[in-house]
Structure 1
Amino acid sequence: MKQIRTEILINMPAHKVWEVLTHFEAYPDWNPFMVFLKGKVEEGAKIEVKMVPPGSKGMIFKPKVLKFQQNKEFRWLGHTMFPGLFDGEHIFELVDHQNGTTTLIQRENFRGILVPLLQKSLDKGTKAGFEAMNKKLKQVCESM
């Protein structure tokens, strides 16, 4: 297993960060990493996500939503071609500090036989994509 984990402190309450994070229709306007997220977002549903790590053309995934807990957590599991080849469990967590600030934790757990071969691109491009999205989310939230 391989995990990528990033976090950022946002000067806004968790419910406001959640509003921006889950306003998926606006992703093309501000999100440099997840350029779209389509579908009915509820536990058990399939969605469609296009991720574009810096320096790549991007990939479209059709993951299954595992958890969608308002103001707290959004999690899905996607596969490349078939389960066990390259699986990614993507997680957004919001930690409400009860003082008007929120920490966004964005992480992904990767499993499958291709993970060792893709480790370098995960460490560079994918992590950079997480960080770019986090920074832009912070900027959008704090400019409201």
Structure 2
Amino acid sequence: MAFVIDKTVDIDAPAELVWQVLTDVEKYGEWNPFCLECKTTLEPGSPIDMKVRLVGPKPKQQREFIRSHTPGEEFSYCMKPAPLGLLSSERSHTVTALADGRTRYVSHFQLNGPLAPVVSGLLGGALTTGFTGMTDAVKSRAEALKAVRD
């Protein structure tokens, strides 16, 4: 059974600005409460190296791999699957321009495989808190940057 966290938020900022916030990974430490550091080229197949806040005071090093990247629209990544399909993950960020100059941001995370219930039992609360915090922070960051530009 899959473990899924989907978060959607409408942002009072243009899609280009929201995209800039999401892809300026070097600045994640300035605003992102979940992913404190991030390095990637966003090139499909390349690594995305992150320090994430899950449980305890020490951030966890995480290496995943870029799956897709459509500039201005979406990027996704996944962990290296565990042997025998015991555990795999999917993470995506999608940006959609709305007619009124606002943007819809969709954050998706999914764990699959027989170990997904075990991992979600151990880390589900921390993952939900982390992805919710990041989604809210994307909105806050983009709207603050828009206010400075206006």
Q: Which runs of 5+ in 1 are unaligned?
A: none
Whether 2:13 is the aligned partner of 1:12: answer yes
1:40 partnered with 2:52: no
Post-superposition Cα deviations, 1:78-105, rounded to whole Å, max 9, x if no partner, equal 1376573332110111121131111111
Q: Which position in structure 1 is the counterpart of 2:148? A: none
Provide the residue aligned with 1:120 in structure 2. 121
Task: Label 1:39 to 1:78 Cα distance change in 2 as closer, same or farther (>3 A).
Answer: same
Q: 1:114 to 1:106 in 2, by over 3 A?
A: same
Greater CA deviation, 19-28 or 59-68?
A: 59-68
Deviation of residue 122 (structure 1)?
4.5
Q: Which amino acid aligns with 2:89?
A: G
Paired residues, number? 144
TM-score relative to the length of structure 1 = 0.88
Contact 2:82/2:88 (<8 A) preserved: no
TM (normalized to structure 2)? Answer: 0.85
**Distance apart, 1:56 and its partner CA:** 6.1
Higher helix share: 2
Question: Hey, what does 2:103 align to over in structure 1?
Answer: 102
1:75 to partner: Cα distance: 0.2
For the 8 Å contact 2:65–2:80, the answer to whether it is kept is no
* Bigger Cα displacement from structure 2, 74-83 vs 30-39: 74-83
Runs of 4+ in 1 over 6 A off after TM superposition: none
Point out the structure with max Rg over C-alpha.
2
Identity of aligned residues (%): 26
